[in-house]
Each structure stands twice: as structure tokens, then as C-alpha cells.
Amino acid sequence: MKNIVFFSFLVLVAFQQLFAYNLKSPNGNLILKFTLAGNGIPTYALSLGDKQVIENSRLGFELVNDDKSFLDDFEVGDIQTSSFDVTWQPVWGEEKDIRNQYNEMAVTLVQKEKNRRMLIRFRLFNDGLGFRYEFPMQKDLRHFIVKEECTQFAMTGDHTAYWIPGDYCTQEYGYTKSKMSEIRGLMNKAVDHQNIASKVIGEAAVQTALMLKTDDGLYINLHEAALLDYPCMHLELDSENRTFQSHLTPDAVGFKGTLQAPGVSPWRTIIVGTEAKDILASRITLNLNEPCKIQDTSWIRPTKFVGVWWEMIAGGGSWDYTSDYPTIKIGETDYTKAKPHGNHRANSQNVKRYIDFAAKNGFDAVLVEGWNIGWEDWVSNRKEFNFDYVTPYPDFDVKELNEYAHSKNVKLIMHHETGSAYRNYERHMDEAFQFMKQYGYDAVKTGYVGPIVPLGEYHYSQPMVNHFQYVVEKAAKYRIMVDGHEAVRPTGICRTYPNLIGNESARGNEFMSRVPLGHTTILPFTRLIGGPMDFTPGIFELDLSKINPNRHEKMKATITNQLALYVTMYSPLQMVADYPENYERFPDAFQFIKDVAVDWDKSVYLEAEPYEYLTIARKEKGSGNWFVGGTTGAQPHIAAFQFDFLDPGKKYMATVYADAADTDYENNQQAYTIRKMVVTNKSKFKQSVSIGSGFAISLFEITDNKKK
């Protein structure tokens, strides 16, 4: 920990009979202006140099059964400023050292008549702003209910927005790029339901992280950090005023937060830069979360894994075991008497095939879905007791398979699909985690498909946000890593609980046939702002009809695109998602997946434009090897950069996986070229990339021993 220096840089400006307070970022480029406007209304504004980023925007809350709310009639009770500069080391991440440098201003607002205080804490970084509401312990504010949070983000113009529809239950959408003013008109088109649990907000509500680009070249990103026991925030566009306003997810009775003083809201974040890649390089989301609360993190490790999964998603294999029963009762249905339908993929023989494949190619683990009884009858039936998480199907030998895997230095990854019956999951969780430890599992993929059971909650309501966090903290006690699917979108909580090693919370590779081109060039600006995604890259057989003749869909991708994702879609948990036999058909391309790292000392964002292209270089943690990935959207792109990120004076063997002349994401997805060359930090690189494709480079230092 570096020293923390406190000093004051407060500027007071007379404004509308009230006061304005300015705060500068450490480098002086960003200026936050807090104003108490007429009627005691708190507002803020943000500028970068001479450009306004956020115009005067209101702050506050509407409360339930409260004649005053936290909207106006405030006086400034106190202002505290401070400065902070600490560099910390994440357990895993895009870089080994993260600098957390900001100037802070904490404004205490007082409603005299009600004798109530609310504090707004601003943290101004060089690359953006975070602020949150705090409610100190006080006599006349104990417990209260939020009708709506009234935080505004007033834009300076009709910016370009990269957005998905606001939805209380799912983020699994393709993104729309449009002017803000077009959002309302495009909303219906943007709602292309693929998810059985969906509750669209409608009108002009969109999800965070929301990526924006101004006509004068600013990139702005709106999201939240440290979402804990509070409803997830959406943004509702007031088109007339070009203003986004917070829209929280309601609970079962329509409340938007049952809060207690003392307490805090999540941070609201505004990342801003003059280049798109500034957004990718920002660490604001992580920095606004609390430091790691897990003492011994030695058991948390980045993981590359294969799995019994794509066979069901793409190939028509089955999670379930039998067709004998119309419905299942856990503990009553006798599976030993059931006739297997023969399509169950999580059988011991098939799992062993994946274990062998993982061991042979140096992968860490094998995910197995559909191993536990109940899948015949699990979702969308409002069924509560759908799984017990400890009873395997008759053809899955949990003991033997774990022992077999461990003998080959491979772990099995547990799968807990809850069918969104979260109460049932909580009831069985201790037993389920104990079962995992008994057999040597140390990671679980969780799932929340379907409507929440008991009915009433949405996936992103406060009680569910509370649940998802409950799972992460409970798992940490058992030294179990969590990869949460269909859970609330991440907001940097992996800093505090690095056992939260992955999340889905966006449309992943499984639906790459159903997204606009460029999906993977927008996700790093949106979904990944909150934390890593289990995107499940690495599909080589991109024509799904080749796997399942009934499925006439092609993924909008190429093999080199799929390789690049291991670098561009940062995650400490990377799946090698395709069938083993599909990799065996392309052993030279597969080599990149075997080589690529999953944890990093450093990341360099070489070039980026949302929805168009994205090139990132990353240095493997501890080894000195570098990997570069680049992907494209709806336009071809010529990637051009210098290898100046490499260590000076060293020589590297670069292997470039790139388009062939005739690569085509629609008609020739599996065409690629591989070339090798020796490069130094003086070398330049240029690569033409076709639509919906990508390229990947591995860079191994050439030593006297010639490691590779």
C-alpha cells in the first residue's frame, strides 16, 4: 500500500444563490461540479478539458410513503475532500498491478425539517467518475423504501449508443447501434426474445454498461460498481432532455430497494475517454469495489476447460436421461427403473473422453452438465423442488470420474442449474457444496434459466441480487469458485470475492448465429466492464447443421475469430467449447488454444472501435509470453500496429493465425492461414481481416534453448 495523502482542493463558486463545488481529477483533466440548485436540489456535472461530458444532472431518490423523499429541500451540511493513490494486486486479472488513484469529495446533504442526512461520495479518477449515495446512521432515518432512484445522466447531444433493451430478467440480447433519439423507435425490433425468462421494461429503457460515443469524439460508458443487496440499475432515456435516468429493478411488490441506514448504494460510474480503447483500459469498476475479503486465495486459479455442454447446446444431445415419466419428483422417482433414452451425454464413458482430451492437451478441467437427476422436468413449470444437487443419474459415476480425472491432473467442474428455483438452491446449498468437496470439485457453474421460483421476483431485483451474492460468499467459505450464468450482471465484485471467476449475463457464443455482426467487438465495452464473461469461445465447426441436421444456422464467425476471442474477451475462465473431434480436424489452429494464457501481467489495448474492430495484446502472467487477438464487426478492417509492447532487446517467435484469402464468415468459415515470423519491439504488423473474422498471434521469446 502506498501512502494515502489527504489534501484539500476545494473550489467554491457562487451559483443561483446556492453553491457549487468543483473537484478535479488527479491529472486535472476531468472536473466534477456539484451544485445545490434552487429548492435545494443536488446536481452534478462532468467535463473533460473544454468538453462537457455530463450536463447538470439531478441526484436523489423518491421514497415510498415519505412526503419529502430525497429529492430537494437539501442544504449542504459538510464537505470532506481527500486524495487516494494505491496500487493493488488482483488475484487474477488483465494486469498484475492496478492503480487506484482518485480525488474524493463527500458531500453531506441535510434535510433540516426532517432532520435527515444523505451523503454523496464522488470519486474522480483520471478516466472517469464514480459516485454513490450513503445514508449514515441517524435517529430519524432508520429503514426506508425506494420508489425510484432519481440519478440523471444528462447528455450533451444525440450521441451514438450501443444498447440492449432494458429487461428485469435477462441481458441475452444482441446490441443495437443507434442515435439516442432512435432508441425508442428501435426498441420493439431490438427485443428479439430468445430467453424464456424475460421482462422487458419497454419505452426507451436500456441496460448498463451503456456505451456512448459523441459526435465530437468522446467515448462515455455508464455502469455501476459494487451492486450489493440493491436492485440492478437500468437507464431510461428522457428523449426530450437527452437524459438517462436510473430505473431500478422492482421487487415482487414493486418496491425498488428496502434500505437501512447505515447503508450505501452501489457506485454509479461514468468512464470517459477520447479514444475507445480508454474505456477498455479503465479499472474504475474494480477500484470502486472493496478489496479482497478472502484471506487465503491460493485455491482460486484461472482455468481453461472443456465440457460436456456443446453437445447439448448445438448437437441435440440431452441433459436428461429418460422419457419414461411425464414429471419427476426428486426423492420419489426411481431412476434405476427408468429406461434411458440413450441421448444422455453426461454418461461416464463420454465424460471420460473429455477427461482424456483435457489431459492430453493440457487443459485444467472438464465441465459436465446434466449429471444430476431432475432434468426431465426442470424449468418453466414453476416447479420448486427440481434438483437436489447431490444425486447423479445412474450412468454418471461421480466417484469414479473424479478419481479418474484427478489421476490425470484434471478437475471436474460442478454444474448447478437451479431453474431459478433459488429457495430450493439455498436449501440444498450446504449439502451440495459439501458433496463437491467430498469428491474434489472446486468450481461450480450455476444457472438460473426460467422465471424465479417462488414466483414474483425478477432476476435483477434486490432479493435476487442478495441471493447471487449469498451464493458467492457461501461458496468462498467452502473454497469453491463460481461461474454464474443468468445471474445479475457483474459490477466488479470479483475484486472483493475473486472466487466469482466468471459470469454469463450476455448473449454468448452459443447464440453467435443470432447476433448482429460485431457482437464480440461491443461486449468488451459493455458487458465486460463489470467483470469477466464465460463466453465459451473456440467453436471450430461453425455451421450448426453439420452437428445437428435440424439446425440450419451458421455462427457469424470464423475459426480465427474464435481464436482471437481468447484474448479479446478477457476471462480467467475460458472454455474450449467445441467437440474434441472438431479440434482434431484442425490441429494447427488448435495449437493457439492450447498455448493461450488465461491470466495476465499486462494488457495493451492496441486499437478499438465498438462494433467495428478490437485488437488487444496481453502478456501472460509470469512467463513473458504475449498473445494478441483482434476481431472485426460488419466491416473488413486492416489491423496495423507496432510490437512496441514487447520487451526491448528480445526476440520473439510470432505465430500468426489469420484469414486466408477466401475466408468468409458466411460461406468459408474454416479457412485460415498460419504464418510464423521473428519479431522484436521494433517490428510492425499489418493484417487484413475480413468481416466477422479475426486474427490471433502467439509470441514466445526466442532463447538459446528455443523453448518453442
Does 261 sit near a copy of itself (CB under 8 A)? yes
Asked if 4 touches a copy of itself (CB under 8 A), the answer is no
Give the separation between CA 554 and CA 545, rounded to whole angstroms: 8
Is 390 among the residues that bind a copy of itself (CB under 8 A)? no
Please identify, using beta-carbon distances, which residue of 284 and 453 lies nearer to a copy of itself. 453
Q: How does DSSP classify residue 38? A: G
Backbone angles phi, psi at 337, to 5 degrees: -95, -5
Cβ-based nearer residue to a copy of itself, 382 or 406: 382
Distance set, CA 521 to CA 71, 76, 209, 242, 685 (Å): 39, 44, 14, 26, 20
Q: How far is CA 197 from the centre of its chain?
A: 19
For a copy of itself, the closer CB: 3 or 65: 65
Beta bridge partners of 41: 37
Instruction: For residue 428, report the phi and psi dihedrals to the nearest 5 degrees.
Output: -100, 0
Helix (H) or strand (E) holding 474: helix 462-477
Q: How far is the CB of 225 from a copy of itself (least distance, A)?
A: 21
**Cβ within 8 Å of residue 235, ≥6 positions away:** 153, 166, 205, 206, 207, 208, 210, 222, 244, 245, 246, 247
CB closer to a copy of itself, 377 vs 595: 377
Q: Could you tell me how many residues of this chain bind a copy of itself (CB under 8 A)? A: 37
Residue ranges in 317-336 that form contacts with a copy of itself under rule CB under 8 A: 325-327, 329
Query: Closest approach of Cβ 332 to a copy of itself, in Å?
Result: 9
- Give whichever of 298 and 327 is closer to a copy of itself, judged by the CB atom: 327
CA distances from 631 to 91, 166, 558, 665 (A): 27, 27, 10, 12
How near is the Cβ of 364 to a copy of itself at its closest, in Å? 32
Kindly indicate which of the ranges 76-84, 456-464, 494-502, 700-708 contains the residues binding a copy of itself, using the contact rule CB under 8 A. 456-464
Rule CB under 8 A: say whether 437 interacts with a copy of itself. Answer: no
For residue 19, state whether it binds a copy of itself (rule: CB under 8 A). no
Q: Map the footprint of a copy of itself across residues 106-145, applying CB under 8 A.
A: 137-143, 145
Distance CA 423, CA 430 (A): 13
At 356, the amino acid letter reads D
**Min. distance of Cβ 115 from a copy of itself in angstroms?**
12
Binding mask 285-324 for a copy of itself (x = CB under 8 A): ----------------------------------------
148 counts as catalytic: no
Which position among 408, 454, 552, 708 is part of the footprint of a copy of itself (CB under 8 A)?
Answer: 454
Comparing CB distances to a copy of itself, the nearer of 36 and 421 is: 421
| Strands 411-417 and 116-125, bridge-based pairing | unpaired
Q: How far apart are CA 279 and CA 271, in angstroms?
A: 6
CA separation for the pair 603, 590 (Å, rounded) = 23
Listed ranges 175-183, 199-207, 450-458, 648-656: which one lies at the site for a copy of itself (CB under 8 A)? 450-458
Q: How far apart are CA 646 and CA 625, in angstroms?
A: 9
Local structure of residue 593 (DSSP, 8 states): H
Report helix, strand or coil for 375.
helix
Q: Choose the stretch contacting a copy of itself; rule: CB under 8 A; options: 105-113, 239-247, 422-430, 530-538.
A: 422-430
Q: How many Cα atoms sit within 13 Å of 334 on the Cβ side?
A: 2
DSSP string, 542-575: -BGGGT-TT---B-S--HHHHHHHHHHS--SEEE
Taking CA atoms, 148 is separated from 8, 22, 41, 63, 299, in Å, by 34, 27, 16, 7, 41
Q: Which stretch binds a copy of itself (CB under 8 A): 423-431, 522-530, 581-589, 655-663?
A: 423-431
**Closer CB to a copy of itself, 19 or 470, in the complex:** 470
Taking each helix axis as running N to C, give the angle between helix 422-439 and helix 462-477, from 0 to 180 degrees, rounded to the nearest 10: 10
| Cβ neighbours for 705, distance < 8 A, ≥ 6 positions apart | none
Residue 384 engages a copy of itself in binding (rule: CB under 8 A): yes
**Cβ-based nearer residue to a copy of itself, 316 or 463:** 463
**Nearest-approach distance from CB 329 to a copy of itself, in angstroms:** 7
Q: Mask 221-260, x = binds a copy of itself (CB under 8 A)?
A: ------------------------------xxx-x--x-x
By CB under 8 A, residue 377 contacts a copy of itself: yes
At 155 the three-state DSSP class reads coil
184 phi and psi, to 5 degrees? -55, -45
For residue 513, with 0-12 CB atoms within 10 Å meaning exposed, 13-18 middle and 19 or more buried, which class applies? middle
Tell the smallest beta-carbon distance from residue 433 to a copy of itself (Å). 12
430 binds a copy of itself (CB under 8 A): yes
Candidates 16-24, 40-48, 380-388, 412-420: pick the segment binding a copy of itself (CB under 8 A): 380-388
Q: Is 473 in the site for a copy of itself (CB under 8 A)?
A: no
Q: Which is nearer to a copy of itself, 99 or 423 (CB)?
A: 423
Q: How much is the CA Rg of the chain, to the nearest whole Å?
A: 26
Q: What is the DSSP letter of 167?
A: B
The residue from 80, 181, 466, 603 that contacts a copy of itself (CB under 8 A) is: 466
In whole angstroms, give the CA distance from residue 320 to residue 274.
Answer: 51
Nearer residue to a copy of itself within complex by CB, 220 or 338: 338
Map residues 335-374 to x or -, x wherever contact with a copy of itself holds by CB under 8 A.
Answer: ----------------------------------------
∠ Cα 281 282 283 (to 5°): 120
Print burial letters for 135-160: b (CB count within 10 Å at least 16), e (below 16).
beeeeebeebbbbbbbbbbbbbbebb
Cβ 70 to a copy of itself shortest distance, Å? 17
Q: Which stretch binds a copy of itself (CB under 8 A): 201-209, 447-455, 548-556, 700-708?
A: 447-455
Question: Least Å distance between CB 454 and a copy of itself?
Answer: 4
The least distance separating a copy of itself from the CB of residue 135, rounded to whole angstroms, comes to 10
Nearer to a copy of itself, 143 or 686 (CB): 143
Exactly one of 376, 510, 609, 620 is catalytic; name it. 510
457 interacts with a copy of itself by CB under 8 A? yes
Q: Do strands 481-484 and 443-447 pair parallel, antiparallel, or not at all (unpaired)?
A: parallel
262 binds a copy of itself (CB under 8 A): yes
- Give the residue carrying C-alpha cell 510464423: 676
User: What residues act catalytically?
Assistant: 510
Q: Give contact residues for a copy of itself (rule: CB under 8 A).
A: 137-143, 145, 251-253, 255, 258, 260-262, 325-327, 329, 377, 381-384, 423, 426-427, 430, 453-457, 463, 466, 470
